[in-house]
Amino acid sequence: MTRRELREHCFKMLFCADFYPAQETREQLKRYFEATPEDEATPEGEIQILHQVDMGEKDREYLLRKAGAVADMLPELDDIIDRVAEGWKTRRMGKVELTILRLALYEVFHDEEIPEKVAINEAVELAKKFGGDDAPSFINGVLAKVVRNQDSVST
């Protein structure tokens, strides 16, 4: 599985878990792998897979570890977002954008295998796929500001 595919699954795991109380996060992350596949027909009549969790144990363990690490850091990540997203507090943000920002900030500050620019670019790509029309520019703007002020906002 590619890093992009793993990141998308991690985003979905975190997004889904965010609808439950914090004490249920670990259980919800595990339940992600029990989801049934989802598809839809395109206008041309082709079947398009929307969601399928078909992966090896190594990828599952990686995702549980990474999503769990992000979930453990939500207060710190949200604090960074609140400090740099002018006029937008995390409690007012859409769950898609908030989840993308949390994952990207985790990668910027805590995942040494992912270069900063890659984390930002991948966050913008997630925003294009899952967010609203303004999501990519919003995500890019917040993350660019974090990177510019990294010394004063790091966790």
What is the pLDDT, as a whole number, of residue 85?
Answer: 86
Separation of alpha carbons 4 and 84, rounded Å: 26
Separation of alpha carbons 8 and 12, rounded Å: 6
Per-residue pLDDT of the chain (155 residues; tens, 9 = 90+): 899 999 999 999 999 999 999 899 989 999 998 888 787 888 888 887 777 788 899 999 999 999 999 999 999 999 999 999 878 888 889 999 999 999 999 999 999 999 999 999 999 999 999 999 999 999 999 999 999 887 666 65
Q: Compute CA distances 81 → 5, 43, 78, whole Å.
A: 25, 38, 5
Closest CA to 100 of 13, 23, 2: 13
Give the length of the chain.
155
Rg (CA), the chain: 16
Closest CA to 20 of 32, 6, 33: 32
Separation of alpha carbons 3 and 150, rounded Å: 25
What is the pLDDT, as a whole number, of residue 76?
Answer: 95
Tell me the one-letter amino acid at 116.
E
Look at the block and give the residue holding tokens 């500050």: 109
Enter the tokens of residue 139.
Answer: 């995500």
Tell me the one-letter amino acid at 53.
V
